[in-house]
Homo-oligomer: A and B are copies of this chain.
């Protein structure tokens, strides 16, 4: 006969215990059932908050759960339910930019908050190289996640096709033009850019230029389009400097180029706060005062905006809200609800500070 373990009730099982196991085994639903004197099924109903359980059974089971310290085994549950209770968070961005871009942190936090409240876990996947793309694609098709949030996808991003093919519930943050009918959340870059440029005009600026960045991304192209919208017939292509990235150094360079071409500039719309910060440096070097000689506005309302001297007037980008909305969108699909086909656009209030 098996000797009963000193610290653990075995119940109906017929384990032959030779030595006491080193690590105490976790209590299962079966242990709870034995402890409470009911069957597995009834325990399961209590755990999952289903009806058809007597008050008496419920109390007994709740006490038993407490006593044996039962926590449901996720692997078993996922196996039988055919789901993983996890959502992937894919960031397609080189490591360096991941650190530098304050929006990504906010998006991550917003998504994480919503997901964990719904008892989903968030698995972060960073794509830095082509090798990573394959790894992530394999991961997504491996059933490790029930859905996916994809941040900063590019034009022709392979992730788009992967997600389409797998028919995986997904939400993109931002919308590359070839997204077709996949759900996304974002902001109206074009409209926001138009509005802040208009306010710059309303403060009496006459010759307004723009430092346009990242024109290979929808955000970059849309911000330029909004700038053009605002100026209308007064638009002059000579007043636009084009730089590759949303960075401080590209901002400084763009500003220098613009000043060389158009010395009588009295207003600048920088495509992001980092770009604006770089522009401010170039202006300081050139001996121009801000906002005295020239007004500068940025975009994002990131931590850059308060680190510059003077503080930046800018468009507030709701990073946390974007992440939260993307998570809600995926959760909605998981619940089988219909999603708005055209994506969700969040509000972008304009923050007026000292730089213009």
Contact = CB atoms under 8 A, between A and B. Distances in A.
A307 B277 contact: yes
A307 B99 contact: no
Contacts of A23: 167
A75 B73 contact: no
Main secondary structure of the interface of A (DSSP, over half): helix
A346 interface: no
Given A98-B109, A126-B109, A144 B309 contact: no
A98 B73 CA distance: 31
A72 B142 contact: yes
A106 B248 CA distance: 19
A180 to B, nearest CB: 20
B125 A116 contact: yes
Contacts of A73: 79, 143
Interface string A226-243: 000000000000000000
Contacts of A72: 142
A143 B74 contact: yes
Interface in A320-335: 320
A26 interface: yes
Contacts of A105: 98-99, 105
Instruction: Pick the most buried of A99, A141, A320: most chain B CB atoms within 10 A of its CB.
Output: A99
A152 interface: no
A99 B303 contact: yes
A39 B306 CA distance: 65
B75 A79 contact: yes
A124 B98 contact: no
A135 B116 contact: yes
22 contacts: A26-B143, A71-B143, A73-B79, A74-B84, A75-B75, A75-B76, A79-B79, A86-B123, A99-B105, A99-B109, A99-B303, A100-B303, A108-B124, A109-B126, A112-B126, A113-B126, A116-B125, A121-B123, A122-B123, A123-B123, A248-B306, A284-B309
